[in-house]
Amino acid sequence: MNVITNILGRYTSLAWHRRWLSLSVAWLVCLVGWSIVTLLPNQYVSSARLYVDTGAVLTPVLTGIALDHALSSDVDILQRTLLSRSNLEKLIAQTDLSRRAQTAADREVLLQSLATAIRIDPQTRNLFSIAYTDRSPKLARDVVQTIVNLFIESATGTSQDMQSARLFLERQIAAYQTQLRAAEQARLDFQTKYAEILPPSAGNASRLDTAREQAVRLNGQVIDATNRRDLLKQEIAVTPPLLTVDPGTRGASSGGVRASPPHSVPNPVYEQLKIRLIDAQSTLSSLTRQAGEAEAEATRLSAIARENPGIAVEYLNLTRDYEVLRKNYEELLARRESMRLGLAADEEVDKVKLRIVDAPQIPSIPAGPRRLLLNFAVLVAGLGAGFGVVFVLLQFDRTFYSVVDLRGVGFPVLGGISLQPRQRPMVGYAGRLSFVASYVLLLLAFGGVATYPLWLSRSL
């Protein structure tokens, strides 16, 4: 606690000893700052309010096939295109802004600044405001008035623009139709020339792939048929062609018994195996012939493919170009249909009704800068600068203001003697009074600077 008290005492003592320096710095900063704020040019805002009544039918434009009613009405389109470069160049040419664009670089900077300085703020769905701020009240009004005129011209010129856009679409559709027919013919000719190694349709295999698959399948069937034939041969080899039949004994006329000799008969199993072997050999011969033909066909098609290695890539390029042209052509057709419906609606409905609710006026009272706030900031900065100077001087001050400071050096201190002022009491009171009066005068000066613009505007 004693340490904090000591530090506060040092600050207070130094601030009091340097009070005139602190006051002088505060006065200097305030006078310079208030002069700068006073010299800042006035900013005047001119604005206009427009009411636009949109009908139930809205015309789509070239930016989309069918625009959403809730998000892309005619007013929204005009609002987006109003601050285009061409309109801003018209604005510069029709107002005194042209005097500020003496060079190409100045004109480019002016175009960029206008794009952000002109504010178009929707207040409701059909009501919005246009505002512009400039140091010249007349120029601010002229800019807003010109923007309103451009807005009206854009609104009334929509049908003409749509007619021009329709003609443009018709020319584009005709050009795309010619290109699409040429692409279709080129693709058809290519398919006819290389039909044997190209897939006949999307998702199907080419004749080369089919021939290869068929050769593999037939070779497998030949192997199976050969195995069946060999098995039949083995069965025939172990099957006897004849069977021995023992007829047994039979009675004779003298009453004795005589045995008949055994004899051979054909084996029916052997005969069936022979028939099956003949069928298997016939099937094997047919499959062998088919497999040979399939391999020959696959070999022939493979040779054609090797002689023309870029056929697949060229076919893919032709197909891709054709699909792109077809997609663009269909999109243009859909867009033309949407535009046709929009033009038909234009003929039946007075789609956009525009009315100026508040015309732009030449402002008489500046909207900025906010001098009261700036002057107060200057006052705070001046007072802060005065105390800041005292704080900086304290960092370099090596004066002992109390016995505690002296004891901090490390030497033993027996005591201290109070300093008796040599000046008379009235002189000390006068000095304090003049210091307080100087600070009061600074606050009064702030009050005068803050109220001067209000007094000046009322007098005018």
Cβ–Cβ < 8 Å for 190, 315: yes
Q: What is the sign of the dihedral through the CA atoms of 429, 433, 434 and 435? A: positive
- Within the chain, which residue ranges are assigned CATH 3.30.1890.10? 44-165
Tell me the C-alpha distance between 152 and 52, whole Å: 10
Q: Residue 235: what pLDDT?
A: 86
Cβ–Cβ < 8 Å for 135, 113: no
Q: Residue 212: what pLDDT?
A: 81
Q: Residue 122: what pLDDT?
A: 78
**Which residue from 236, 302, 226 is spatially nearest to 269, judged by alpha carbons?**
236
- Average the pLDDT over 131-146 and give the result: 92
For residue 447, pLDDT over 80 is answered with yes
Q: How confident is the model at residue 68 (pLDDT cuts 50, 70, 90)?
A: very low
Q: How confident is the model at residue 140 (pLDDT cuts 50, 70, 90)?
A: very high
pLDDT digits (tens, 9 = 90+) for 297-331: 778 777 766 666 667 677 778 888 888 888 888 88
Q: Residue 145: what pLDDT?
A: 92
For residue 187, pLDDT over 60 is answered with yes
- In words, the CATH class of domain 44-165 is alpha beta
Structure pTM?
A: 0.45
pLDDT digits (tens, 9 = 90+) for 73-121: 555 565 666 788 888 888 998 898 888 888 888 889 998 888 888 888 8
- Average the pLDDT over 328-337 and give the result: 85
**Which residue from 114, 51, 50, 49 is spatially nearest to 88, judged by alpha carbons?**
114
**Which residue from 48, 188, 223 is spatially nearest to 130, judged by alpha carbons?**
48
Q: Residue 352: what pLDDT?
A: 52
Q: Residue 65: what pLDDT?
A: 39
Q: Say which range, 22-36, 198-212, 319-333, 348-362, has the weakest mean pLDDT.
A: 198-212
Tell me the C-alpha distance between 92 and 78, whole Å: 19
Q: How confident is the model at residue 70 (pLDDT cuts 50, 70, 90)?
A: very low
Q: Residue 307: what pLDDT?
A: 62
pLDDT digits (tens, 9 = 90+) for 169-184: 888 888 888 888 888 8
Q: Residue 250: what pLDDT?
A: 52
Residue with tokens 């190409």: 104
For residue 197, pLDDT over 50 is answered with yes
